[in-house]
Every structure is written in structure tokens, then in C-alpha cells.
Structure 1
Amino acid sequence: MDAVAAGEGAPLTALYLARLAQEAGIPPGVLNVVTGCGAEAGAALPAHPGIRKMTFTGSPPTGTAVMEACARNLTPLQLELGGKSPQIVLLDADLTKAVPAIVRSIVMNSGQVCAAGSRVLVHSSLHDRLVSEVADAFRVVRVGLWDQSVDMGPLINARQEKRVLDYLAIGREEGAEVVVGGGKLTGEPYDGGYFVAPTLFDRVTPGMRITQEEIFGPVLSVLTYEDEEEAVAIANGTRYGLTATLWTQDVGRAVRLARRVQAGQVAVNTLGDGGPAGAIGAPFGGYKHSGFGRSMGPDYLEDWTQVKTVVINAA
């Protein structure tokens, strides 16, 4: 039985996919979409003995619960559990390319992306210039409704809006400095939705909660480092390890750092959402608490098959 549980907050994509499958001639029952809340519809899938392979995208606590349910039926599982992706800006970085990409990575889908580059690590001597340019770019981000020509829309629901606003308050309490944004947008058309301003935090340290925890909103934190060793330590200093981006014109340094950064995907001088440079077919998945296993690519398709050995003595 092949089934997909649609996210309780965003089921339309899965439903539309099922409709396209039906229009393409895939027989009824081959692809099934189950909608409902996670505690009911979602929890039923890993608990069902007829499910022989599971993949889950969500938070580490929910991923743990799914894994426990799968263990009871010895169901193989692939997990993608979010990230706190670093963007390491080295001294020789081309900021004309880096700044627009850094901003796009955190405002895309209002920051509600597992691979969002939510931490910028910049050399201390380049800090002031980078913060100034990112702040200027944040100020001109167009925020609005889905049918408008904008760069960023609203958060998905009131619960997520409260979560993001709570983190903005936590960041201030921890001593981080709000450079741009920092609150809910008001007035038309914002009063009818869950709009939070793109927010840039400066003077952030590695131990702060806004550095360690996935906010899942348009919130970017800037941290400084003095040398390559410190940059790697900060980049690897969270429980996550999904994606990372390196900004440098030194290919040798990029390769050296890419080997040391604990992330399933490392992009150099480009965005790494959906696989390095958005490469079609590139495996996507995480290290550490970002989960295990890979999606996309031929290896992923093979992972949904099972090897069978048949030995025949034809004598």
C-alpha cells in the first residue's frame, strides 16, 4: 500500500498531485492521500502493518515518535528533520552574488523551508559591510499576498506566527540586536494574514537559542569568526546538519571546508536548496538531528525497492 499523509497545515499540494496522477492514468488505489491531523491520520501510517516503507519530513520530536512507531513493525524509515543551515562568508567572497542569495534563502517561502540559510557566519573584518548590505536588501523585500508580485508571503497559520514572534522576543532577551524587522507587519494587506517582517539579528553568539533552534520563519542571524577553525566549529555547533553554503573564490578552500562541514549538502557560491545549486537529481538529506537517508535521485528510487536473491538448480 502506497500512501502519503498530507501536512495538516498544507494538504493542497498532495491533493493536487493525486489529481494529476489520476489524470495521467495511474489506477485508483496505487497512490492514496490521507488528510487529517498528525495525531490521527499521520500516526496511523507508521502503526499500520501494511506499510512497508516510511519517509517523514518534520520536527525531530515528531520524527522520534514516527521512528518508535516504525520500530514496532520493523518498518524501514527515512527522516528529514529540519536544519539550522550556515552560510559561511569568507574574506574573498563576492558579496554582489552572496548578499542577494543570502536574503533569498531566508525569505523564500517566508523562511518556512528546512534548508533555509538561517545563520550567516562572516569574518569579523567583513562583518560591518555584510550586515549593512544585507540590511539594505531586507528593507526592500516585497511582502504581500500570493497573487501579488512579491518576494515573500505570510506564515502558514497563527500558531506558526506566534512561534516566530516568540523567537524574536527570545533573541532580544538573549542580547541579540535587531537591525531590520523584528515584529509583525500591520496595515493593509497584512492585517488579514500572518505576516512577520524579514528580520536580521546581529551580535549573535553560538549559544543563543535563535542560533541553535530552528525558527522556521524569515529570521536571519549573523555571527562572526576569526579564522577557518572557528568558522567550522560554529557551523557544526548545532544538532542539525542539513545544508550549508560557502562563499569564496578559492576553490581549494571551498573543497577543504566542504569536507569538514557536517551537512548533507554543501553549495559553493550558490543556493543549496533542494540539493546543491538546486541540481536536479542530487541526493538530499541530513546529518545528525536533521535525519538520515536521502531523497531525490536514482538512489532514492532504489531505496524503495527490495533486493531478492533467487537460486535455481536447473539440473
Structure 2
Amino acid sequence: MPTVYENYVDGEWVVSESGDTFDVQNPAEPSSIVGRFQSSSPADVDAAIDAAVAAQETWANTPGPERGDVLKRTGELLEERKESATEALVREEGKTRSEAAGEVQRAIDIFAYYAQKSLDLGGISKSPSGRNKDLYTKREPLGTVGLITPWNYPVAIPAWKLAPALAAGNTAVVKPASAAPGMTAILFECLDEAGLPDGVANMVTGSGSSVGTPLAEHDDVDGVSFTGSTAVGTSVAQTAADDLKRVQCEMGGKNPTVVMPSADIEEAVEILGVGAFGTTGQSCTAASRAIVHEEIYDEFVDAMVEYATDVEIGAGLDDPDMGPHVSKSELESTLEYVELGQQEGATLETGGERPSGAEYEEGYYVEPAVFSDVDNDMQIAQEEIFGPVLSVIEATDFEDALALANDVEYGLSASIVTQDLTEADEFVDRIEAGVAKVNEKTTGLELHVPFGGYKNSSTNTYREQGDAGLDFFTSTKTVYRNY
């Protein structure tokens, strides 16, 4: 029998009012069920929100260091469970063991970081224009927040939303993605053991329509933070905005890496390979467009094809280079884009098919794909694929490469590989992306600096992580005091 996970509401593990459940399968072995979860109803959402609202005033009035102690202990408990949590993440989402271990460690680090930041929360003092007066600001929690998180980073993203929300004195209701909710349950087990007061953080699993929408539109929710696709994020933002909730959405990407003639080809291929095929391309910051100067285009394509064909594919617990897609629908979507790219006239240089062999028959595996002869207006160059598919686009010079990089509706992460300092600086200044990197892969984020996108990659309101991660979850009150 698979493990049955319950909702976490008001400090208790409870079954859904609906009485229904859903199963989550191992992407490497879909016949194996890794967990059974509550298929919750709007009534379950209401109960979780009621608990959060009831706990909010007391938690807000809890001194910051005490809140920080709970966060610190949560991170410590997760660290004690790191090995088992890593294996659980691999079985649920499909990441390789190394990728999963890195993600679990990131969640640990996030809780440690915001535990410390909870000690520093405060306002600023300004000089008043008159005598015998004080003029200062104070930061106050937003209230009760709804956190809607994706399946591709099922413990890191809940951590980087929940930790700053709690540090700032908010209460929360978390809705994890149905494809991989188990890691959020593990995180809540740690929060519970760490002594989090009842009702401060709650978790409700289920579909977007039954849980996500009621959470976003509820009158008692003061803010909504979402990570996921642009289509769903736009809907969440519109729903939340109906009653002027504060909203933060981080969404899709179609991230370019520009490769210039001064680049070392081997280094550029490594940067693109890791950025495009790491986490099976299932990252909003994954590199999906290589924009390569014409002088080195053919050489780059040959080297990129060699890299892709050498990528070891397998079950995540064996720690290969690349694991399976998270689900059958994600695999089918990638295969459809590979077929579409060929129909559009691009050349499929390698990959894009189900690998052969008995060990691949059941899992949601695909070979990493490299396309050449790609025009930037093709769908494979414009739409987020969310799979290990790299389009190599030829550019005549730096200006052409920059124009191609910006000619897309997304603006999340972008990088350039060059030894020319002028090109690097021009790229950083002019690229339309929230994250700009030089001689780095588009993936990979530091937790103490802001993260967010431009254009359709974000609602362009509040950034996540670092000090900026606290801005969304706090309101500023300005105080004038005449003594």
C-alpha cells in the first residue's frame, strides 16, 4: 500500500472533506505509486484559511527571534532527514540523486537564511522637518497569504515562499502542485516537529480548480504568491486582483544563451548542455535557445550534438546525467514539440525520441534534442517547451544576437559566453531579462539576491528571495510622532 498523506490544517493532519484521493507515480517506474494524497474541496480551503486567520495576530505579535527559532529548527530537522528526503524527491519528481540532494540542501539553507533575517526585520528612521518630532517606518506582516507552488522544485520553491512569509509574521496556506506534493508534506512534518503554532502554516492538496482558485479569490487572503506557467499565473493574478489582493507571480521562460566568437567552444557547450538538459529541461530558467555567431555556428553545433549524445539517461536513484520527465503528459508535450520543430523546417541533429532498451520501456524518458537551422519566429524558438530541447539559432553579429535574444515574449534568465568585456557589459545593460549572466548557465540562483523576470515571465511586481523576498510579505507603515 502506498503512503497516504493528509492535509495539514490548524496543526493537525486531516483527511479531505471530499473523501477523495489521488495517486502520484514514480516517473521512472509509473507502475509504482509513491504516495496517495487528498483531493481537497473548497471547503477544505476555507477551513485552512480560517485557521490561518485565527492564528495571524498571535503569530504577528510573536517576537522575530522566536519566529526565527522555529525556522532554524525546521531547517535542522530537514537536514537530519536529508538522505531520505532526497530519495523521496527522486521517486516523486524524477530528478537525479545529485539534483535532488542539491534542492533539499537549498531548502535547508533558505530556512537558515530567513531564520537569521527574522532578527533584522524593522523600519528606518528619518530626520523630521520640525523639532520635538520622530519620523520613522515600521514593517508589518501582510496578513494571511496563499502560496501556490509548482512540481519542478517541490521543496525549494515552497521553502523560498513559506520561510520569508513566516519570518515576517504572516500566516499561510500552501497549495503544492498535484504532480509532486509529497515534498511539501515532508516540509510540513518538519515545521510541525519544530513547534510551529497551530494554524500558522497549513497545507491543502488538490487540483487548481478546487484548491488554487478558491485560495486566490478568498476574501480573507491578503496576498497570493504563485510560481508556474504563464497561462495559469495570469489567471491567478487576475483572480487575486478582483479585490485588490497583493499578488506575485513568477512564470515561464524562453531563455537564451548568446555565444560569441571569442568564447571557448568547449566551455560554451558545457554551459549550454547543463543549462538545457539539467533537471530534464524542467526549469523555468532552463536554456532553450543557443544564439550563436555565424563564425563558430557549425563548430558549435557539432560539439553540442556530441555533448547531447553523451548524456547518460536513467532512473534518478542511479544518479545519471538526466532523469525522466515528471509525467506522461510532460513527455508527450516534449515529443510533440520535437515533431513540430521538424515540421517547421528545423533540422533535428540528435535526440528527441524515446530511448531504446528494457530499462526505458516504462519510464517517461526522452533523449536530449538539439535543433539547428532554427528561425527565431518558429514555435520551438518562441514557446516554452519545458523539456530537454535546445534550438541553435545563427546570428550575424552581436547586435543581431542581442535582438534575437530579446525577440520573445518572455524575459526570465539570459546569459552570454564571451571574452569581450564590452560585449559582456552591453549584454547586461540591454538584455530584457530579470537575470543576466556572463559566462554562466541560465539556471542556478543564489538565495540571497532577488529573483524575478520581465515581460510575460512575471507580474513585474515583487521579486523573490533575499531581502526582496520579504518585501512582498510586509507592508510599510510611516509613523509621525510629536513628543
What TM-score bracket applies, with the shorter chain setting the length? over 0.9
Residue 186 in 1 paired to residue 186 in 2?
no
Identity %: 38
CA distance in 1, matches of 2:249, 2:397: 33
Q: Retained in 1: the 8 A contact 2:406–2:431?
A: yes
> Residues 207-218 of structure 1 correspond to what in structure 2 (within 5 A)?
207-218=377-388
Q: Retained in 1: the 8 A contact 2:237–2:248?
A: no
CA distance in 2, matches of 1:307, 1:280: 23
CA distance in 2, matches of 1:12, 1:236: 37
Q: TM-score, normalised by structure 2?
A: 0.63
Determine the structure 1 residue equivalent to 2:53. none
RMSD: 1.3
Tell me which protein shows more strand as a share of its residues: 2
> 1:196-228 deviations in whole A, cap 9, x for unaligned?
110001110011000000000000000000011
Determine the structure 2 residue equivalent to 1:58. 228
Counterpart amino acid of residue 455 in structure 2: K
Q: Please, which of 129, 132, 139 is the counterpart of residue 299 of structure 2?
A: 129
Q: Please, which of 264, 267, 272 is the counterpart of residue 94 of structure 1?
A: 264
Report the CA distance between 1:313 and its aligned residue: 4.3
Counterpart amino acid of residue 31 in structure 1: A
Residue 300 in 1 paired to residue 461 in 2?
no
Q: Retained in 1: the 8 A contact 2:241–2:247?
A: no
> 1:234-278 deviations in whole A, cap 9, x for unaligned?
00111000000110112232011111110000111112324xxx3
> Residues 38-57 of structure 1 correspond to what in structure 2 (within 5 A)?
38-57=208-227
SS at 2:336 equivalent = helix
Residue 260 in 1 paired to residue 435 in 2?
no
CA distance in 2, matches of 1:67, 1:279: 26
Question: Runs of 4 or more off by more than 4 Å in structure 1?
Answer: none
> 1:16-40 deviations in whole A, cap 9, x for unaligned?
2212222222223212122111111
Provide structure 1 residue ranges, at least 5 long, that are not aligned to the other structure: none
CA distance in 1, matches of 2:230, 2:473: 23
SS at 1:295 equivalent = coil
Task: Identify the range of structure 1 (302-311 vs 213-222) with the bigger mean alpha-carbon deviation.
Answer: 302-311
Q: Please, which of 396, 405, 415 is the counterpart of residue 245 of structure 1?
A: 415
SS at 1:282 equivalent = coil
Residue 80 in 1 paired to residue 250 in 2?
yes
SS at 1:310 equivalent = strand
> 1:150-208 deviations in whole A, cap 9, x for unaligned?
01111111111111111111001000111110212232221111111100011100110
CA distance in 1, matches of 2:400, 2:393: 11
Determine the structure 1 residue equivalent to 2:450. 283
Total equivalences in the alignment: 311
> 1:25-77 deviations in whole A, cap 9, x for unaligned?
22232121221111111111111112111111111221121111111121111
CA distance in 1, matches of 2:446, 2:230: 26
Task: Identify the range of structure 1 (125-134 vs 17-26) with the bigger mean alpha-carbon deviation.
Answer: 17-26
> 1:72-110 deviations in whole A, cap 9, x for unaligned?
121111111110000000110122222112111111111
Residue 21 in 1 paired to residue 194 in 2?
no
Residue 220 in 1 paired to residue 390 in 2?
yes
SS at 1:192 equivalent = coil
